[in-house]
Homo-oligomer: A and B are copies of this chain.
Amino acid sequence: MKKFLNSAESFLPEVLAGLAAAHPDLRVDPAARIVARAAGAVAGKVGVVSGGGSGHEPLHAGFVGEGMLDAACPGEVFTSPVPDQIVSAAAAADGGAGVVFVVKNYTGDVMNFEMAAELAADEGIAVETVLVDDDVAVRDSTYTAGRRGTGATVFVEKIAGAAAAGGADLTAVADLGRRVNAASRSFAVALTACTTPASGRPGFDLPDDEIEVGVGIHGEPGRRREKLRPAREIAADMVHAVMDDRPLPPGTEAIVMVNGLGGTPLSELYLVYGEVAAALADRGITIVRNLVGDYVTSLDMAGCSVTVCAVEEPFLALWDAPVRTPALRWGC
């Protein structure tokens, strides 16, 4: 294993320590394992909280800040946060108007966020949950009943976060988050496996000339192994998979993300974005906003994912609303 770390045990707290050192706008509580806004909860605003296993940085802690998340609760690498930790995050985010949990659809996360929602309710914090399940690759998977939650999480957190910042109430923020998820589909391809600090070895074996098509963000198997092919064909296949699951009529406007899985350089991501944009243009889809870069990663995995969100009212205005977080920042 070749990683910058001191020990597998200290990996997460040390990543959080670095995050805290780099971003004074964040309040990182290494004991409670929560990352919140340094300025505290905003009175009267719906809080937006997300979390899940670590190893997907910048997700979720990198999206804490004005116009997006109020708090994040990172679990150990590829391991759900525990209910008490989630409740602490909810408390840090609660401005008296309730809290929305954005939960990627993995069995452990779903269970722990459900328990946390009940515990939070006992403490007088109203919680609504938005489940993200955008990955069309497989119907069920290693850690999931139903589809996995991946790239759409960024779209849900941005748009729901902007709605909360704009004063929407708990039900409205949650409904909007669910609509964004329903409008979004993702598909990923891995060139290499990722290595967790604890295991020290790649999570699966992939021959030098093969790729995993439909891979999950923990290295879960996809639809098939196949020989490495030109990026144009891989991109077209990813677009096909996404559009096959939810056909979009010509003329549809979309927000599109080409997301690196951690070990793929930006140059390749731009190349893939060009191919994805061309494949979508062929189908009459107009990309109105985009993200190209590492947003939902899988440690050091080489690979990328494509997420397409069909724009509805009022997604675009909320997408464009100011955001000020470590990983997404515009308008302020």
Contacts and interface: CB of A to CB of B under 8 A. Distances in A.
A275 B22 CA distance: 11
Interface in A21-54: 21-22, 54
A287 B22 CA distance: 9
A320 to B, nearest CB: 13
Contact of A270 (B15, B267, B294, B330): B15
A122 B20 CA distance: 52
B270 A19 contact: yes
Interface stretch (A125-133, A151-159, A177-185, A228-236): A228-236
A290 B25 CA distance: 13
A5 interface: yes
Nearest to A291: B22
Nearest to A295: B266
Nearest to A61: B270
A interface bracket (residues with beta carbon within 8 Å of B): 35 or more
A261 to B, nearest CB: 9
A88 interface: no
B4 A264 contact: yes
Most buried by B among A11, A17, A265: A265
A192 B192 CA distance: 14
20 contacts: A2-B191, A2-B208, A3-B268, A5-B231, A14-B271, A16-B270, A18-B270, A18-B271, A18-B274, A18-B292, A21-B273, A21-B277, A22-B292, A57-B265, A58-B266, A262-B265, A263-B264, A266-B297, A267-B299, A294-B294
Interface of A: 2-7, 11, 14-22, 54-55, 57-58, 62, 191-192, 208, 211, 228, 230-232, 234, 262-275, 277-278, 287, 290, 292, 294, 297, 299-300, 302, 304, 329-330
